[in-house]
């Protein structure tokens, strides 16, 4: 009741100050049509495969035509790439018309993504666009890529509604929406790529277009953050490109197929290829120590961009690691008989490394989040920490190989869940900033009276990210917890310590959001904020959509898990018997996991009380502890020093030699002209 009342109140307040215009009417209509479509999709996907196909056949003829269209992935990708420039042209005539078109286009994109499901449910969609780059572009949509595309689609749609009001405080809105659409197309192309070349091309398109979102307001801080982002992004792209060259040289393929047998005899080359891919995709994923761009980018980017960057873009980096870890570095199902098969060697070594990178990323991310006063910077560090969970799950999947389905399932489930609650957190913080023009949580307080619905959805998102039973994060965190337990039960005993650190990080996450909510929404409201405006109806509606998804997944965690994630796991090289025993019909609300979360919350509350009492949230860490100071600045100075040495020793000498040669040629020419002229 509180939720509905807050939502209706927000709409009423918005309508009083801003009468319903074309954008509002269009957005409300499309929003409720989307809810109806999602509801219908849930009902249809609960049907058995043959029943679903019968429903499609007896429906309107155009439905069957669309859902059976083989080039549908290309249409899905091209739609935002073509729509972006058209939206920019419309924006010159009317901002309301442009923003309405953006919402409508993202809605159509989302529906087209859902339309791919019947083909994906039957197996996969494979489409090749021949002749391009001498190799062709290949698109392959299986259940894993469908999940990523659908998550991007729903998130883009809701952020498009939210962005209309928020972007009113920003300039260059036409440019923002153009690059927002191009980034969407780049993400869709990356996750639906059928080989490494196609993935690389769209991955780079996504990198360069999203740079424009990071550096959007063109302030000094934005430009510096954009520089860090693009430098790291280009470096990651070069690593992926070199890995591709080495892979195609030694295996003669860039397809996502099991290549463990082909790589087995390559010696150290196979490990170099592995490291290049992990580093290349790990930069985008915010993996330590490659994360330095992320806490710089979020505080300066417009909030809609932050919601998309953290919600889905960094997940594309994790998707890249997950895709290569579950395809290229594994044997085919016909080649192995157990998880101890020698063909799992590369995967197991890769997995052990990734597990510890994930754990360290989780730990450092949550610790740095606790030290922040800037709300967006705190959420940025939490994105790093939550990516650590996902990376750890990918590591377990690779490490356990044939028995790695639990790690795979937890990582992809947490990708979906984190996209929802982190986007909602950024949107809530963005609305607070729009009303107060303040990001320092220590200078706020008591805002729940002014922004009750924002406070309410912040609680929902916080309960999601901290893993409260009944909200979406509980299911994925429980699976990941089971996965790390399996890592030390089936593998090395040292992963027992990783499981302990997992629990500590979870408690630190609880502490962080108690801190955020108490400083922003509780306590006394500063005098200068007592007369601020209330909430915005369209922004509330977008946030309500994400809040509903968080609650729906939390209440029915088995839907996404059974209908999508388990079929995705079955399509990979995982033990079917293991999946049937441990994943099918998993009981998420079991006593052990729920009691475990009670202890996590109690520990989180204790950390908050102690941290506040002993001022542990204001630690002034020495500058030498900074990864940037320890690693990147010395590396930069080293490269610069080498280049200067080369310049001084060789280039200067060459230039002097050239001057002498040119002088001799010139004198000789003049002498000849004088003598024979």
Query: Is 104 a residue whose pLDDT tops 50?
Result: yes
**Which pLDDT band, with edges at 50, 70 and 90, does 635 fall under?**
low
Query: Is 634 a residue whose pLDDT tops 80?
Result: no
Consecutive H or E run containing 258: none
Consecutive H or E run containing 138: strand 137-141
pLDDT computed for residue 427 by the predictor: 95
Distance CA 139, CA 256 (A): 11
pLDDT computed for residue 9 by the predictor: 47
pLDDT computed for residue 329 by the predictor: 86
pLDDT computed for residue 651 by the predictor: 58
% of the chain with per-residue pLDDT over 90: 54
pLDDT computed for residue 532 by the predictor: 83
pLDDT computed for residue 7 by the predictor: 40
**Which pLDDT band, with edges at 50, 70 and 90, does 21 fall under?**
confident
What is the average pLDDT across 363-371? Answer: 93
Q: Return the structure tokens found at 675.
A: 């003598």
Q: Under DSSP, is residue 193 helix (H, G, I), strand (E, B) or coil?
A: strand
Instruction: Report pLDDT digits (tens) over 105-126.
Output: 999 999 999 999 988 988 889 9
| Total count of residues recorded for the chain | 677
Query: Is 137 a residue whose pLDDT tops 70?
Result: yes
Residue 240 · residue 281 · CB < 8 Å: yes
**Nearest alpha carbon to residue 310 among 371, 367, 382, 360:** 382
pLDDT computed for residue 654 by the predictor: 65
Strand-strand pairing, 125-129 and 137-141: antiparallel
pLDDT computed for residue 528 by the predictor: 86
What is the average pLDDT across 267-280? Answer: 91
What is the average pLDDT across 181-189? Answer: 95
Instruction: Report pLDDT digits (tens) over 368-379.
Output: 999 999 999 999
What is the average pLDDT value for the chain, to the nearest integer? Answer: 86
**Nearest alpha carbon to residue 476 among 552, 403, 553, 544:** 553
pLDDT computed for residue 397 by the predictor: 93
Tell me how many degrees the CA angle 32-34-40 measures, rounded to the nearest 5: 105
Q: Return the structure tokens found at 91.
A: 């924006």
Distance CA 377, CA 361 (A): 16
Residue 435 · residue 532 · CB < 8 Å: yes
Dihedrals phi, psi of 129, to nearest 5 degrees:
-105, 95
Q: Return the structure tokens found at 492.
A: 């090395």
**Which pLDDT band, with edges at 50, 70 and 90, does 623 fall under?**
low
CA 496 to the chain's CA centroid: 28
Query: Is 469 a residue whose pLDDT tops 60?
Result: yes
What is the average pLDDT across 315-330? Answer: 91
Query: Is 26 a residue whose pLDDT tops 60?
Result: yes
Residue 515 · residue 139 · CB < 8 Å: no
Query: Is 600 a residue whose pLDDT tops 60?
Result: yes
Q: Is 136 left (phi over 0), alpha (psi -120 to 50) or beta?
A: left
What angle separates helix 472-490 from helix 591-613, to the nearest 10 degrees? Answer: 100
DSSP 264-328: GGGTHHHHHHHHHHHHHHHHHHT-TTS-TTHHHHHHHS-HHHHHHIIIIIHHHHHHHHHHHHTTT
Distance CA 502, CA 385 (A): 11
Distance CA 306, CA 302 (A): 6
**Selection from 5-19, 60-74, 527-541 with the highest mean pLDDT:** 527-541
pLDDT computed for residue 13 by the predictor: 46
**Which pLDDT band, with edges at 50, 70 and 90, does 675 fall under?**
low
**Which pLDDT band, with edges at 50, 70 and 90, does 6 fall under?**
very low
pLDDT computed for residue 659 by the predictor: 64
Between 557 and 657, the higher pLDDT residue = 557
pLDDT computed for residue 547 by the predictor: 96
**Contacts of 492 by beta carbon, 8 Å cutoff, 6+ apart:** 352
- Residue 452, classified by CB atoms within 10 Å of its CB into exposed (0-12), middle (13-18) or buried (19+), is middle
pLDDT computed for residue 167 by the predictor: 87
**Which pLDDT band, with edges at 50, 70 and 90, does 5 fall under?**
very low
Query: Is 454 a residue whose pLDDT tops 60?
Result: yes
pLDDT computed for residue 331 by the predictor: 85
% of the chain with per-residue pLDDT over 70: 87
What is the average pLDDT across 478-487? Answer: 93
Residue 555 · residue 588 · CB < 8 Å: no
Query: Is 10 a residue whose pLDDT tops 70?
Result: no
pLDDT computed for residue 672 by the predictor: 67
Q: Return the structure tokens found at 522.
A: 């509780």
Q: Is the dihedral of CA 600, 603, 609, 612 positive or negative?
A: negative
Dihedrals phi, psi of 522, to nearest 5 degrees:
-105, 180
Residue 149 · residue 192 · CB < 8 Å: yes
Q: Return the structure tokens found at 274.
A: 């592995």
Q: Is 218 left (phi over 0), alpha (psi -120 to 50) or beta?
A: left
Dihedrals phi, psi of 334, to nearest 5 degrees:
-75, -15
Instruction: Report pLDDT digits (tens) over 200-209.
Output: 999 999 999 9
Residue 141 · residue 192 · CB < 8 Å: yes
Lowest-pLDDT choice from 19-23, 219-223, 483-487: 19-23
pLDDT computed for residue 11 by the predictor: 39
């Amino acid at each position: 009741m509180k939720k509905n009342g807050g939502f209706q109140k927000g709409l009423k307040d918005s309508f009083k100050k801003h009468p319903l215009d074309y954008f509002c009417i269009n957005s409300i209509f499309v929003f409720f049509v989307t809810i109806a479509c999602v509801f219908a999709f849930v009902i249809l996907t609960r049907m058995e495969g043959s029943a679903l196909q019968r429903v499609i056949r007896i429906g309107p003829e155009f439905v069957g035509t669309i859902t059976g269209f083989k080039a549908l992935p290309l249409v899905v990708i091209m739609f935002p790439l073509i729509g972006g420039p058209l939206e920019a042209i419309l924006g010159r005539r009317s901002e309301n018309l442009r923003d309405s078109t953006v919402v409508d286009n993202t809605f159509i994109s989302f529906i087209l993504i859902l339309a791919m499901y019947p083909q994906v449910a039957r197996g996969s969609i494979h489409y090749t666009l021949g002749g391009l780059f001498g190799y062709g572009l290949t698109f392959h949509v299986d259940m894993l890529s469908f999940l990523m595309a659908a998550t991007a689609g729903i998130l883009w749609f809701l952020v498009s509604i939210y962005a209309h009001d928020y972007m009113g405080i920003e300039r260059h809105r036409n440019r923002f929406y153009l690059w927002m659409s191009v980034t969407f197309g780049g993400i869709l192309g990356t996750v639906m790529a059928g080989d490494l070349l196609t993935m690389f091309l769209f991955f780079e398109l996504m990198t360069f277009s999203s740079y424009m979102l990071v550096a959007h307001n063109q302030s000094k801080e934005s430009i510096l953050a954009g520089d860090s982002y693009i430098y790291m992004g280009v470096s990651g792209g070069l690593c992926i490109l070199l890995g591709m060259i080495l892979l195609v040289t030694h295996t003669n393929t860039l397809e996502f197929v099991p290549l463990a047998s082909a790589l087995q005899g390559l010696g150290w080359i196979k490990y170099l290829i592995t490291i290049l891919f992990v580093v290349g995709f790990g930069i985008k994923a915010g993996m330590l120590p490659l994360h330095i761009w992320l806490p710089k980018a979020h505080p300066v980017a417009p909030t809609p961009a932050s919601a998309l960057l953290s919600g889905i873009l960094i997940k594309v980096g994790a998707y890249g690691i997950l895709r290569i870890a579950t395809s290229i570095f594994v044997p085919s199902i016909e080649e192995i008989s157990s998880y101890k098969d020698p063909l799992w060697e590369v995967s197991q070594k890769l997995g052990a490394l990734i597990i510890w990178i994930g754990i360290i990323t989780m730990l450092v991310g949550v610790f740095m989040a606790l030290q922040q006063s800037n709300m967006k910077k705190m959420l940025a560090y939490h994105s790093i920490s939550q990516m650590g969970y996902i990376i750890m799950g990918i590591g377990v999947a690779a490490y356990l190989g044939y028995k790695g389905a639990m790690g795979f399932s937890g990582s992809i489930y947490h990708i979906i869940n984190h996209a929802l609650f982190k986007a909602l957190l950024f949107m809530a913080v963005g609305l607070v900033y729009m009303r107060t023009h303040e990001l320092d949580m220590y200078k706020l307080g008591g805002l729940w009276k002014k922004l009750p619905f924002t406070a309410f959805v912040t609680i929902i998102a916080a309960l999601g990210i901290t893993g409260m039973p009944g909200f979406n994060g509980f299911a994925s965190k429980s699976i990941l917890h089971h996965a790390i337990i399996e890592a030390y039960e089936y593998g090395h005993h040292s992963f027992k310590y990783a499981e302990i650190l997992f629990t500590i990080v979870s408690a630190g996450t609880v502490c962080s959001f108690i801190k955020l909510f108490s400083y922003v929404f509780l306590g006394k409201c500063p005098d200068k904020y007592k007369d601020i405006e209330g909430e915005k109806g369209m922004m509330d509606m977008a946030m309500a959509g994400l809040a509903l998804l968080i609650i729906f997944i939390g209440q029915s965690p088995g839907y996404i898990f059974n209908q999508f994630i388990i079929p995705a796991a079955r399509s990979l090289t995982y033990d079917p018997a293991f999946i049937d025993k441990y994943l099918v019909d998993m009981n998420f609300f079991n006593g052990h996991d729920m009691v475990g979360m009670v202890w996590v919350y109690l520990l989180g509350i204790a950390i908050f009380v102690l941290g506040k009492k002993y001022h542990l949230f204001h630690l002034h860490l020495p500058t030498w502890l900074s990864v940037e100071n320890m690693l990147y600045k010395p590396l930069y100075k080293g490269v610069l020093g080498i280049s200067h040495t080369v310049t001084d020793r060789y280039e200067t000498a060459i230039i002097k030699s050239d001057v002498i040669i040119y002088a001799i040629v010139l004198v000789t020419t003049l002498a000849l002209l004088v003598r024979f002229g």
